[in-house]
Structure 1
Amino acid sequence: MLCTLTIHSVATACDEWAAMVVSVNGYVVVKDSQALHSSGATVQPDALICPGQQLEVGADSRAAIYLSNNSFVRLDQNTVLSFPSTQQAGSFWVELQQGVTHFISRITQRFGVKTPYANAVVDGTEFLVTATDSASQVSVIEGQVTVAGTQVNQPENHQQATLSAGKKAILSGKADIDIIDIATTETVDWAVYFPPAMFMDRLQQGANSEALAAAAGHLDQNRPDLAIETLKNLT
C-alpha cells in the first residue's frame, strides 16, 4: 500500500539542497528519481528539495520555489521539474519535463534549463520556458538566453541561437530554430512580475514565506497590484 509522506521527512536527508518551496497553491508533490511511479510526498512552504528529486504540479495548481543558485521559479499547472542527482562544478541545471516555468535569476554560476527539445543557457534575469510533447519554447523577458536543439536523431543539424529580451525561440526537432517577437508584458500573464533585486534579497533572508504565500493568493484573485504591495511591505 502506498502512503503519502510529508516532504520534511524526505528532504532533510540531503545536505546540499537544490530548491526550497516558497508557496504552494493546490496539489504539488515531490518524488525521488528512482520512485517516479509512486504517489510521492505532498510539499509545503519551507520544504527542501534534494538533488535527484522531481516536483510535479497538478491541474489547477501552482508552486513557487527558490533554487540554491539564487533563482526564483514559478511553476504553472501540470508542470514537471526535475533536479539532477549531480551537477558539474560551477554549473546548475534543472530539467523541465513538461509544463510552464517562469524564472527570475540573479546568476552566480552557469545556469541552464533542459527540455525534451532544447537546452537553454541563461545569461539574463527573467525568462519563460515551456515544454510539451511536440515542442519546447524559450521566451526572454529580460537579459539574454542561449538555446540549442537537443534531438538525438539529428545531432549533425543541431542549431543554437542567442535570444535577447522580447524574443521567443520554438524548437520542435527540426533543424531550424523558429524565432519570433513577443510582447514581454503579456508573456507572464499567469505570474506576478517581481522586481528581481528586491525580491532576491528578501528571499535570501528566508523568513518571508507568509508574505510570499499572501502574494500568491492575491494573484489567484486576479489582484497583482495587491501582490506587489505585499512584497513592497517587506522592505
Structure 2
Amino acid sequence: MGDLRSRLAASGRRFAQWAYVTGILIFALGSAAQAADSCELVVGRVASAEGNVEVQRGADASWTAAKLNQTLCEGDSVRAAERSRAAIALSNQAVLRVDQNSAVRLVNVSNKPEERSFVDLLRGAIQSFSRKPRRLEVSTPYLNGSIEGTEFVMRVTDKETILTVFEGTVRAGNPQGTVAVTSGQSVAAEAGKAPQPRTVVRPRDAAQWALYYPPVLAMTDSAAAPASLRNAQESAARGNYPAAFAALDGVPEGERDARFHLLRASLLLSVGRVDDARADIDRALVQDAGSGLSHALSAVIAVVLNDRDRALAEGRKAVELAPDSAAAYIALSYAQQARFDLPAARETLLTAVKRQPKDALAWARLSELHLMLGERRDSIAAAEKSLALAPGLGRAHMALGFAALANFQISAATDSFEKAIAADNADPLPHLGLGLARINRGKLEAGRGEIELAVGLDSNSALLRAYLGKAYFEERRADIDAQQFRIAKELDPRDPTAYLYDGIRLQTENRPAEAVEALEYSIARNDDRATYRSRLLLDQDRAARGTSLARGYDDLGFAQLGSNE
C-alpha cells in the first residue's frame, strides 16, 4: 500500500500527466507580479479587482486605485465601491473576497501556524476561503469571529453583523455572549445584544455576489449598439466597468428601453450583482415580452446556481424568441453543458456562428466546446477566428491556452492565459490552469495556491473543488482532501471527477470497500463529465478507473473480480 501511495501522490509533471490521462484539460495563468512598493511585511496581494477597487497604505489618508497583483502590507486597507468587488490572496493562504460597498483592513496577517491573524471588516461583506489550519480573527462593530480553517461570509450593516458558515466552526462573540457557529448555520448580532441564531435554508446563497457568471453578450461589437448605449459597451469591452455604468447612468429615463436594461443586467452579472441583474431582466420583459436576451441571461444565472432544469428551459426560450441572437445560443450551450450534453452544445454554437459569423464571443465559446470534445484543430481555428474579430477577448486566449496545455506546451499556454487573465481577472479557470501548469513544473505548493484562489473566485464549482482536493491529496493533507471531494459531490453529484479522486484516496488509506464504491460511482458517471477533456481519451479514462477498481477488488480479496476488471 505504501508503494501505491508513493506512485499516486507523486508531484510535478506526473500529476499534470495523470490529470490529462483522466481526460480533463485545464487552464493557466501567469500574470507577472508587479514590483512591490516599499513594505516591511508583505501580507498579501490583490488577486482580482473589478470595478472601482482602492488600496490605502497603512495610516495614509489617501486611497489609490488597486492594480492586479499589487502587494499589500501589514495595516493596509482595501475597499470596493458600488458595483465592484475584489479578491485578496493573503500570505497565510486564505482568500478574501470583498463585496461592493465594503472595506477591510489587514491588521496583522501571519503565515505561522501557531500565530493568529487579525482582519477588521469595517463595512460591507467578505467571504473567506482557507483550508490551511491557520487562526483568523475577524473584528466588526457588532460581532467578532474566531476562525480556524473554514469558509464563511460575514456582513456588516448599519445595525448588525451577520455571520454564515459554510464549512468548519467559528466562535462568534461580543461582550454580551459567545456562540459556536458550525457548517450551514448563521448568527446575527446587534449593538448591545448577544449573537442570535438565524435560520438559513440555502447558506451558500449568502455568497451569490462572489460567484462568476460567464458572459453571453459580446461587448466587442459596439457598432451594432444604439448610440445611447455605445459608450457603455465600449467601456465594458475594455474592462472599465465604472465608466460603463457611468455611461448607462447618463442615459435619460425616457430612453431606457429593454436593450438598456439588458446591457446593464449583463454588466451587473459581471460584477456579481445577481439580484440587481434579475430586476433589470424583469424590467426588460415588461417592456419587451419577446426579448430572447432576457431569457439568455436568466439561463446563465440558473446555470451558475446549479438549477439545470430552469437553465435549459430559459436557454431554449431564448433561442425560440431570438433565433438570430448569438447570446441566446451561447446561453443555451451553457445549459446543455450543465446537463452533460456536449455534442448538443457544440451544435448549438455551430448554429450561432453560422447565423452571426462576426460574433467573437460565439467563436470563443465554440472553441471551448470543440476542445471539450477533443477536436483540437477545430478548437484552435475557432479561437483564432475569435481573436481576429476581437484581439483582446479573454475567452479566446483561454481556449488557446487549453489547447497548448493539452499538448504540454506549458510556456505557450501560460502566455495565452496571462492575456486571458488581463482581460478578465475574475475568471477562475485561468487560475486553475496556472495551478496545474505550476504543478507540472514541480511547484506543487505554488500550484495548489492558485487552485485555492480559483475556488475562492467561484466556490460553487464542483470541478474546482475536485481539483483542489486532488492537490491536497498530493500534499498528503488528510481530511481536507476528503472534505473538498465531499463538497464537489454535493455541488454536482453527476460529475465523476471527485468520485475518481476520492476512490484513489480511499485505496491509499487501506479502505478498499469504500474505494470500490467510489470508483464504481465514477465509472457509472464516466460520460457525464462536462469539462475540458478529450473524447479520444475516454477509453483511457475508463481504463484508469478500471485499474483502480481492480486494485480495490484485490484489496477486498476478490481476486477474480479484480482480474475481470
CA contact (8 A) 1:23 1:216 kept: no
| Deviations 1:48-85, CA, capped at 9 Å, x for gaps | 11011111111110101111111111111011000126
Higher relative contact order (Cα pairs below 8 Å, separated by 6+ residues): 2
* Aligned match of 1:64: 87
Report how far residue 33 of structure 1 moved.
Answer: 3.4
Q: Does 1:143 align with 2:161?
A: no
- Would the aligned equivalents of 1:70 and 1:108 in 2 still touch at CA under 8 Å? no
Q: Identify if the C-alpha distance between structure 1 residues 64 and 86 changes in structure 2 by more than 3 Å, giving closer, same or farther.
A: closer
Count of equivalent residues: 199
Q: Is the 8 A contact 1:166 1:181 kept in 2?
A: no
Please state if 1:47 is matched with 2:259.
no
Q: 2:433 maps to what in 1?
A: none
Q: Choose between structure 1 and 2: higher helix proportion.
A: 2
Partner of 2:183: 165
Partner SS state of residue 38, structure 2: coil
The alpha-carbon distance between structure 1 residues 124 and 60, as it changes in their structure 2 partners (threshold 3 A), is: same
Listed one character per residue, the Cα deviations across residues 24-63 of structure 1 (whole Å, up to 9, x for unaligned) are: 1001111123223x2x111111111101111111111010
Per-residue CA shift, 1:137-196, capped at 9, x if unaligned? 1110111111011xxxxx4xx200000111111011233221112122322111238xxx
Q: Give 4+ residue runs of structure 1 displaced > 4 Å after superposition.
A: 85-89, 207-212, 227-234
Secondary structure of 1:84's aligned partner: strand
Instruction: Report what 2:119 is aligned to.
Output: 94
Aligned to 2:204: 185
Structure 1 Cα separation of the partners of residues 145 and 132 of structure 2: 14
1:23–1:63 Cα contact (<8 Å) kept: yes
Assess if the C-alpha contact under 8 Å between 1:141 and 1:166 holds in 2.
yes
- Farther off after superposition, 116-125 or 60-69: 116-125
Aligned twin of 2:425: 213
Structure 1 pair 162–100 and aligned structure 2 pair: CA distance change class (3 A): same
Distance (Å, rounded) in 2 between the aligned partners of 1:216 and 1:107 = 20
**Which amino acid is 2:118 matched to?**
W
Over the aligned positions, Cα root-mean-square deviation in angstroms equals 3.3
Residue 24 of structure 1 pairs with residue 49 of structure 2? yes
Residue equivalent to 1:107: 132
Task: Output the CA distance in 2 between the equivalents of 1:14 and 1:106.
Answer: 27
Q: Deviations over 1:76-112 (max 9, x none)?
A: 1011000126879711011000011111112333211
Superposed displacement of residue 12, structure 1: 2.3
For the residue of structure 1 that corresponds to 2:83, the secondary structure is coil
How many angstroms apart in 1 are the aligned matches of 2:426 and 2:72? 22
Shift of 1:16: 2.2
Displacement, 1:15? 4.0
Residues 24 and 132 of structure 1: CA distance in aligned 2, closer, same or farther (over 3 Å): same
Q: Give distance in 1, aligned partners of 2:76 and 2:210.
A: 24
Q: One-letter code of the match for 2:72? A: I
Instruction: Tell me the secondary structure at the aligned position of residue 92 of structure 2.
Output: coil
Q: TM-score, normalised by structure 2?
A: 0.32
Tell me the amino acid that sits aligned with residue 213 of structure 1: N
1:70–1:107 contact (8 Å) kept in structure 2: yes
SS in 2 for 1:93: strand
One-letter amino acid matched to 2:139 = K
User: CA offsets per residue over residues 193-234 of structure 1, 9 Å max, x none?
Assistant: 8xxxxxxxxxxxxx88755825169xxxxxx99x95996789
What is the distance in 2 between the residues matched to 1:142 and 1:116? 24
2:193 is the alignment partner of 1:175 = yes
123-132 vs 11-20, greater mean Cα deviation:
11-20
* TM-score between both structures, scaled by the size of structure 1: 0.73
| Contact 1:140–1:164 (Cα < 8 Å) also in 2 | yes
**Are 2:47 and 2:88, in contact at CA under 8 Å, matched by a contact in 1?**
yes
Determine the C-alpha separation between the residues in 2 that align with 1:174 and 1:92. 26
Question: What does residue 100 of structure 2 align with?
Answer: 77
Aligned-pair identity in percent equals 26
Structure 1 distance, partners of 2:148, 2:462, is 29
1:125 deviates by 2.0
How far apart in 1 are the matches of 2:130 and 2:108? 21
One-letter code aligned to 1:126 = E
Rg: which structure is higher?
Answer: 2
**Aligned amino acid, residue 106 of structure 2:** F
Say if 1:85 and 1:102 are closer, same or farther in 2 by CA, change over 3 A. Answer: closer
Q: Check whether the contact 1:111–1:122 (CA below 8 A) recurs between aligned residues.
A: yes
**Unaligned segments of structure 1, at least 5 residues:** 1-7, 150-154, 194-206, 218-223
Structure 1 counterpart of 2:65, one-letter code: T
1:190 partner letter: W
In structure 2, stretches of 5+ residues that fail to align are 1-33, 213-413, 430-456, 468-530, 533-565
- Indicate the SS of the match to 1:189: helix
**Inter-partner Cα distance in structure 2 for 1:131 and 1:48:** 26
Does the aligned pair in 1 maintain the 2:123–2:155 contact within 8 Å?
A: yes
Query: Matched residues in 1 for 2:180 and 2:76: separation?
Result: 30
